[in-house]
Amino acid sequence: MSLGPDILKIKDLKKNFGSLAVLKGLTLTVRQGEVLVIIGPSGCGKSTLLRCLNGLEPVQGGQIIFGGQYLTDPHINWSRTRQRIGMVFQNYELFPHLTALDNVLLGLIRVQKRSKTEALAIAERWLTRVGLWDRRGSFPRQLSGGQKQRVAIVRALALEPEIMLFDEVTASLDPEMVREVLDVIVNLAKDGRTMLIVTHEMAFAKAVADRVIFMDEGLIVEDAKPEVFFENPATERARRFLNIFQFSDIHKPQEPSASPLAKEAQDVKESNDAKESNDAKDSKEPELS
């Protein structure tokens, strides 16, 4: 995959919640067309990092430079900037009073001031691509979790952002719906879209990432190619973290799987199970032990 110029530079980023330091001087560069998967234990600051990139959290120090613009400038016009940075959340926050189509149209019409026909054409193209055009009239409560999350992705993508942020987008889904959402993201990766993905789906991370960023205690501990990171992590902390997922593998009865594809689906499902037990103790405590 050919990578373009640097699109996002994060320098020495610091973020505190009160006296608790969540990001302790984080530095990272992302090139255009790159897919970064960010993993790490709960409370390591990975979600906070994405929220800082979308201006949802004020930062206490450092710089974020996106396409030549300083996002850490307090006078930045966030409304304009957020159209260039798409974000999808864990809890598929669709607007419950609007249909799937109206959810997608809202930003196109109200933010980008496009005409109704133009906006409709864009919405149709995207909803069709994720297989939900025929559900356009449904309200969020009538859609499954996976469908809602696909609409949420489309809602962000329709604004043609230059970079997409995915914050644990499958963490709240039933296991059987994880795949349909991940497939959409894999397809976007094939398009050469720049993406930052926070996830607990290890098999997915392995498949989609150009680089894996492993975070712990507010810092980047490893930054490596996926095959390197998953086969041979450089640090003890990363090895311990990956072991959590291994551990759950060992205790499951191994089903004989013929095709590699079925094996992958199995992995997705199991890492999802592991994630759930992991999330159960999700709290503000920064350490995992």
Q: If binding is defined by CB under 8 A, does position 113 make contact with another protein?
A: no
- Distances in Å between the Cα of 191 and the Cα atoms of 153, 199, 221 are 15, 20, 29
Q: Tokens for 191, please give them.
A: 């398009």
Selected binder of another protein within 127, 151, 159, 268 (CB under 8 A): 159
List the 219-224 sheet strands across, edge first: 85-88, 163-167, 194-198, 35-39, 211-216, 219-224
Site string for another protein, 65-84 (x = CB under 8 A): -------------xxx-xx-
Selected binder of another protein within 16, 27, 32, 54 (CB under 8 A): 54
Residue 131: CB atoms within 10 A of its CB come to 13
Sequence-ordered list of residues with C-beta below 8 angstroms from that of 206, at least 6 positions apart, any chain: 226, 227, 230
Selected binder of another protein within 10, 42, 71, 89 (CB under 8 A): 89
The residue range among 106-114, 183-191, 212-220, 271-279 that interacts with another protein, by the rule CB under 8 A, is 106-114
H helix or E strand, kind and range, residue 69:
strand 69-70
Sequence-ordered list of residues with C-beta below 8 angstroms from that of 220, at least 6 positions apart, any chain: 26, 27, 28, 213, 214
The residue range among 3-11, 122-130, 135-143, 254-262 that interacts with another protein, by the rule CB under 8 A, is 135-143
Selected binder of another protein within 17, 20, 70, 96 (CB under 8 A): 96
Q: If binding is defined by CB under 8 A, does position 146 make contact with another protein?
A: no
Q: If binding is defined by CB under 8 A, does position 19 make contact with another protein?
A: no
Q: If binding is defined by CB under 8 A, does position 110 make contact with another protein?
A: yes
Smallest distance, another protein to C-beta of residue 64, A: 16
CA distance 222 to 40: 10
- Under 8 Å between Cβ of 108 and 161: no
Selected binder of another protein within 5, 97, 259, 283 (CB under 8 A): 97
Residues that bind another protein (CB under 8 A): 54-56, 78-80, 82-83, 86-87, 89, 91-97, 106-107, 110-112, 139-141, 148, 152, 155-156, 159
